[in-house]
Amino acid sequence: MMIPLSQPDIGEKERKAVLDVLKTPCLALGPKLTEFEEKFSRYIGTKYAVAVNSGTSGLHLIVRALGIGREDEVITSPFSFIASANCILFENAKPVFVDIDPDTLNIDAGKIEKAITDRTKAIVAVDILGHPLDWDRVTKVARKNKLKIIEDSCEAFGAEYRGRKCGTFGEASVFAFYPNKQMTTGEGGMILTDSREIKDLCSSMANQGRKVENGKWLEHVRLGYNYRMCDINAALGIAQLSRINDMFKKRDRVAKLYDKYLGGVDGVSVPYVAPWAKISWFVYVIRLSGKYVRKDRDRIMEKLKDAGIQCSNYFQCIHLQPFYKDLYGYKRGDFPIAENISDHTVALPFYNNLSEDKIKYVVKSLKRII
Domain ranges for the chain, please list them. 12-97+104-242, 244-369
What pLDDT is stored for residue 123 in this prediction? Answer: 98
Identify the CATH class of 12-97+104-242: alpha beta
Q: Decide if 150 contacts 138 (C-beta within 8 A).
A: no
- Over the Cα atoms of the chain, what is R_g? 21
Parallel, antiparallel or unpaired: strands 120-126 and 148-152: parallel
Residue 290: per-residue pLDDT: 79
**What crossing angle do the helices spanning 336-344 and 294-306 adopt, rounded to 10°?**
30
> In this predicted structure, what is the pLDDT of residue 292?
86
Per-residue pLDDT, 206: 98
Q: What is the pLDDT of residue 346?
A: 98
Task: Print pLDDT tens along the chain (370 aa).
Answer: 899 999 999 999 999 999 999 999 999 999 999 999 999 999 999 999 999 999 999 999 999 999 999 999 999 999 999 999 999 999 999 999 999 999 999 999 999 999 999 999 999 999 999 999 999 999 999 999 999 999 999 999 999 999 999 999 999 999 999 999 999 999 999 999 999 999 999 999 999 999 998 888 999 999 999 999 999 999 999 999 999 999 999 999 999 999 999 998 999 999 999 999 999 999 999 999 978 899 999 999 999 999 999 999 999 999 999 999 999 999 999 999 999 999 999 999 999 999 999 999 999 999 999 9
How far is residue 137 from each of residues 144, 161, 169, 175, measured CA to CA in Å? 11, 12, 12, 22
Q: Does domain 244-369 have CATH number 3.90.1150.10?
A: yes
So what's the pLDDT on residue 69?
Answer: 97
Quote the pLDDT of residue 14: 98
The Cα 295–Cα 97 span in angstroms is 25
Residue 23 is predicted with a pLDDT of 97
What pLDDT, on a 0 to 100 scale, did the predictor assign at position 264?
Answer: 83
How many whole angstroms separate alpha carbon 27 and alpha carbon 11? 21
pTM for the model: 0.97
